[in-house]
């Protein structure tokens, strides 16, 4: 039989939008030292919008955007949707693309007019050995310092240009982070995004520790790294690439609007997208523990 106190808190949790799949997760929540949040889609809305476009050598920015949209047209990633949406809003004619492939955590590739074109973030740029010419590098640095995500459009290994995307921090995130810290819990953030993008969000939210440019396959290693320091970890994420990290953490918390895979790996699923629900879990866990004695 389930102890009465646990049954009550599971029900209270559900009312706070916290669906407990594994009741040990709720019990363990009171012992957590650090909450590790995935950035995109968890602390931010995850729905970026296109802000800037810059093309190399005075090329036409509309043509660059149309090319990027062609390469991204088969991708489901929020950054891809933002690029395709921006091209549509500007009534651009998007060329046909073939041979689409997705490079997990880095970007996408497709063939357009017989050329192999990549669109992706900093990891992709490094992987292709592509170098940004000036003055493009100056522009993209300024965008990143502002906290925007930068995606490059690369033909072979030459950079054609770049776009910036901004993903707004959820208004509730600030409160969630501050309240967890008030309860003596450290708050960390993990992302595949560039260091500067991560730093801008972390500074806005006063986050204690940041892991940036983490490849999907390495997210769970960062959980292990924290555990190796003797810390008990609650991991909050939404994506397929967060699943191993959710499974590795003492408490895995999936954001409800996230993927099915993430939800399967988690002990807890949040009904909505409000990071403050993590706080409700801590409070419920601490309260029920006290009631048992």
Interface ranges with Mg ion (CB under 5 A): 40-41, 239
Partner that binds at residue 219, options Mg ion, ligand ADP, none, CB closer than 5 to 8 Å by kind: none
Catalytic site includes residue 283: no
Q: Tell me the two tokens of residue 158.
A: 């030459």
* Cβ nearer to ligand ADP, comparing 12 with 111: 111
55, 80, 177, 234: which one contacts ligand ADP (CB under 6 A)? 80
- Least distance between ligand ADP and beta carbon 10 (Å): 29
**DSSP structure class, residue 94:** P
Q: Does 275 bind ligand ADP (CB under 6 A)?
A: no
Q: Please, which contacts does 132-138 make with residues 24 or more away whose CB atoms are closer than 8 Å?
A: 132/159, 132/162, 133/56, 133/57, 133/159, 136/54, 136/56, 136/161, 136/162
CB 13 within 8 A of CB 20: yes
Span interacting with ligand ADP, options 74-82, 130-138, 178-186, 264-272, rule CB under 6 A: 74-82
Q: Tell me the two tokens of residue 259.
A: 């993927």
Q: Phi/psi at 108 (nearest 5 deg)? A: -135, 165
Span interacting with ligand ADP, options 59-67, 72-80, 202-210, 222-230, rule CB under 6 A: 72-80
Name the catalytic one among 38, 193, 238, 242: 38
23, 111, 175, 216: which one contacts ligand ADP (CB under 6 A)? 216
- The residue among 93, 86, 90, 155 whose CA lies nearest residue 120 is 155
Helical ranges in 109-218 per DSSP H = 122-128, 136-145, 171-182, 195-205
Q: Does 198 bind ligand ADP (CB under 6 A)?
A: no
- Least distance between Mg ion and beta carbon 38 (Å): 5
Note the residues at the interface with ligand ADP (CB under 6 A). Answer: 38-40, 72, 75, 77, 79-80, 105-108, 119-121, 149, 151, 191-193, 216, 239, 241
Which residues are the active-site residues?
A: 38
């Amino acid at each position: 039989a389930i102890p009465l106190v646990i049954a009550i808190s599971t029900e209270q949790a559900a009312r706070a939008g916290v669906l407990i799949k594994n009741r040990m997760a709720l019990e363990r929540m009171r012992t957590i030292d650090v909450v590790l949040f995935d950035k995109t889609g968890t602390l931010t809305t995850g729905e970026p919008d296109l802000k800037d476009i810059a093309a190399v050598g005075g090329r036409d920015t509309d043509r660059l955007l149309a090319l990027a949209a062609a390469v991204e047209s088969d991708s489901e990633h929020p950054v891809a949707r933002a690029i395709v949406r921006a091209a549509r809003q500007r009534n651009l004619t998007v060329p046909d693309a073939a041979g689409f492939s997705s490079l997990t955590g880095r970007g996408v590739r497709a063939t357009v007019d017989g050329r192999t074109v990549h669109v992706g973030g900093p990891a992709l740029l490094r992987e292709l050995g592509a170098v940004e010419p000036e003055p493009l590098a100056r522009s993209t640095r300024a965008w990143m310092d502002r906290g925007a995500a930068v995606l490059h459009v690369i033909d072979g290994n030459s950079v054609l240009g770049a776009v910036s995307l901004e993903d707004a921090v959820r208004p509730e995130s600030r409160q969630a982070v501050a309240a967890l810290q008030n309860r003596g819990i450290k708050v960390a953030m993990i992302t595949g995004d560039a260091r500067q993008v991560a730093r801008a969000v972390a500074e806005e939210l006063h986050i204690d520790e940041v892991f940036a440019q983490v490849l999907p396959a390495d997210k769970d290693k960062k959980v292990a790294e924290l555990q190796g320091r003797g810390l008990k970890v609650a991991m909050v994420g939404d994506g397929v690439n967060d699943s191993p990290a959710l499974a590795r953490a003492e408490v895995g918390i999936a954001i409800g609007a996230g993927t099915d895979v993430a939800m399967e790996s988690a002990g807890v699923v949040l009904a909505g997208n409000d990071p403050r629900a993590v706080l409700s879990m801590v409070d419920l866990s601490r309260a029920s523990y006290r009631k048992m004695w």
